[in-house]
Amino acid sequence: MAQVPFEFRYSKLIEKNPREIVLLRGNGCKWRRCRFCDYHTDFSLDEKANFELNSKVLAQVTGEFERLEVINSGSFCDLDAGTVAMLLEICQTKKIHTIYFESHWMHRELIAAWRERFAEIGVRVQMKIGVETFDSLFRESYLDKGMGMATAEDIAQYFDQVCLLQGLPGQNRESMLKDIELGLKYFVRVCVNIMVPNTKSILPDPQVIKIFLEEIYPLYKDDERIDILLNNTDFGVGV
């Protein structure tokens, strides 16, 4: 994924946990080693240009759901100071009570201060992390997530929501179900992403996806705590 056009940076999610969602641009994911992910290419080191773009995206926020999800193809701490100040202002002027951010595991020690910063204006932060799977050996040896042997319980000490990646070679019905159930046990919400081809070397496994669609999707598709993205643009942002 290269730079995302402006028109694919704002959307509304109305079915589960209604919220507005924005895809902002930061100075880049600091890990960049995940073998399945090319989202990090949507970045710029020009913070002035990032702020100008993000300002236009955030101008579309209405606050109608009082919830705002912020993603930026990296972590919350990759956003420039001007964008952060604008987010704080928008939360106040648009009466947003909950804001969602994403982060890599490597930035977990910064989360508490981030929560406090928004709590000072009466806004609750929910932090989301892409773990892809709780099978730490698979996660680190095959996906190269950079999380060591962290367990679901370890991760839940810092994060509220978790993203899982399914449809990968080596997964099966039991492993996918186990990941989803662990996610529901330890986290407020779970987002299941089905692997789609991109510029990286890891490809989706059609047979695993078939198992997911026939045997797992029907079990969870109506669960209010689970978002399921059969395509990576199902939230209406990104390309």
**Residue 2, pLDDT score:** 63
Q: What is the pTM of this model?
A: 0.95
What mean pLDDT is predicted for residues 167-173?
97
What mean pLDDT is predicted for residues 28-57?
95
Tell whether the model's pLDDT for residue 1 goes beyond 60. Answer: no
Structure-block tokens of residue 219: 């079990």
CATH code reported for the domain at 6-229: 3.20.20.70
207's enclosing H/E stretch is: helix 206-211
What mean pLDDT is predicted for residues 11-21?
97
**Residue 238, pLDDT score:** 86
Domain ranges of the chain: 6-229
**Residue 231, pLDDT score:** 94
For residue 28, which of 78, 71, 70 has the smallest C-alpha distance?
78
Task: Tell me the C-alpha distance between 115 and 108, whole Å.
Answer: 12
Reported as a single tens digit per residue, the pLDDT across 68-112 is 999 999 999 999 999 999 999 999 999 999 999 999 999 999 999
Grouping H, G, I as helix, E, B as strand and the rest as coil, residue 239 is: coil
Provide the 10 A C-beta neighbour count for residue 9: 24
- Give Cα separations from 15 to 175, 210, 228 (angstroms): 27, 25, 12
